[in-house]
Structure 1
Amino acid sequence: MAWSAAAVSRFAAASPAAGPVPARLGAAAAAASSISFAGARGRRFGPVAASLSTSAAAVKEAVQTEKAPAALGPYSQAIKANNLVFVSGVLGLNPETGKFVSENVEEQTEQVMKNMGEILKASGASYSSVVKTTIMLADLQDFKKVNEVYGKYFPAPAPARSTYQVAALPLNARIEIECIAAL
């Protein structure tokens, strides 16, 4: 069921207030914090407490390692937040030279996986803790070749995955992979 701010406000207007809500959180949050529910046979349950966190930055930590290529723009190699690691898209660049290991998709995939492994390691995670990957390919015809390399890195059960052909990748890469890992 989808709830709009107006619907929550109308529902909350008929319910007792749960307490003050800081003005910076807005009317929808104030309404949500005062919701109570009537169960079967008219018993009242409530008020339901709403918990909205405004300190997301406090639980966010950048991950940086020199054993993988530096970010190509204003982003982190990875971010640790709430027992998860979000690894940015990784290319098949040699971290020492900043150049692709080759134009070959298999060799780029191998280097992507090595680079990703170093970022995971720096974050306290590993290939076995990866729960989701997204693969972006310059050419979907490379799918089988990429799978042969990729499959060597992930123990069973393999992570959930999406694979897409994209119009272009940074620096004309053949492949880019991002992932999410649990800590």
Structure 2
Amino acid sequence: MANAHRIYTDDAPSTDNPYSQGVHAGDTLYVSGYGPVDPDTGETVDGDIASQTDRVLDNVAAVVDEAGGDGLADVVKVTVYLTDLEDYDRVNEAYGARFGEVPPARVCVEAAQLPEDVRVEMDAIAFLGHSTA
């Protein structure tokens, strides 16, 4: 990984677990999975699934920004993990409101359980070919 750089920001949650918030390799940024955790408190945000989806996307955007990107505008691929597919429509609505006319490619899967018993988690890939980070 000589050409890969670890990305870290206080604007996204971090843990003592052995992973990077993001890894910038060439023109690509790989963003680790995030749940609806407030980076200031380390706690899961209160609220409905839409507000939790917004917090997840804020966390992803913070890592992209730290790598020199333009937040969600540079995201090209997202994987959404839900513990209950009954939340799909509400997550989809909140998610769609955050992306422009050309949303990223996406996969959505139901997971039996997510860390900290959150209901939604997302990881992402961003293209940073235009940045100098």
TM normalised by structure 2 equals 0.91
Whole-Å separation in 2 of the counterparts to 1:166 and 1:124: 31
- Unpaired runs of at least 5, structure 2: 129-133
3-state SS, counterpart of residue 90 of structure 2: helix
**1:152 Cα offset (Å):** 1.6
RMSD between aligned residues: 1.1
User: 1:66 and 1:145 mapped to 2: Cα distance?
Assistant: 28
Report which of the two has the higher share of helix.
1
Q: Relative contact order (alpha carbons < 8 A, sep ≥ 6): 1 or 2 greater?
A: 2
- Report the structure, 1 or 2, having the larger strand content: 2
2:45 is aligned with 1:101? yes
TM-score normalized by the length of structure 1: 0.67
Give runs of ≥4 in structure 1 deviating > 3 Å: none
Q: Which runs of 5+ in 1 are unaligned?
A: 1-56
How far apart are 1:173 and its partner, in Å?
0.6
Query: Which one has the largest radius of gyration?
Result: 1
Matches within 5 A, 1:18-33: none
In structure 2, what is the Cα distance between the partners aligned to 1:161 and 1:174?
Answer: 18
C-alpha separation between the residues in 2 aligned to 1:140 and 1:177? 14
Q: Secondary structure at the match of 2:2?
A: helix
* Aligned mates of 1:69, 1:148 — CA distance in 2: 24
Rounded Cα–Cα distance in structure 1 between residues aligned with 2:16 and 2:29: 19
Query: What is the number of residues matched between the two proteins?
Result: 127
Which secondary structure state, in structure 1, belongs to the residue aligned with residue 63 of structure 2? helix
The alpha carbon displacement at 1:105 in A equals: 1.4
Identity %: 36
CA distance in structure 2 between the partners assigned to 1:80 and 1:165 by the alignment: 28
User: Is residue 92 from structure 1 mapped to residue 36 from structure 2 by the alignment?
Assistant: yes
> Contact 1:79/1:86 (CA < 8 Å) preserved in 2?
yes
The superposition leaves residues 105-129 of structure 1 with CA deviations (integer Å, 9 ceiling, x where unpaired) of: 1121111111111111001122111
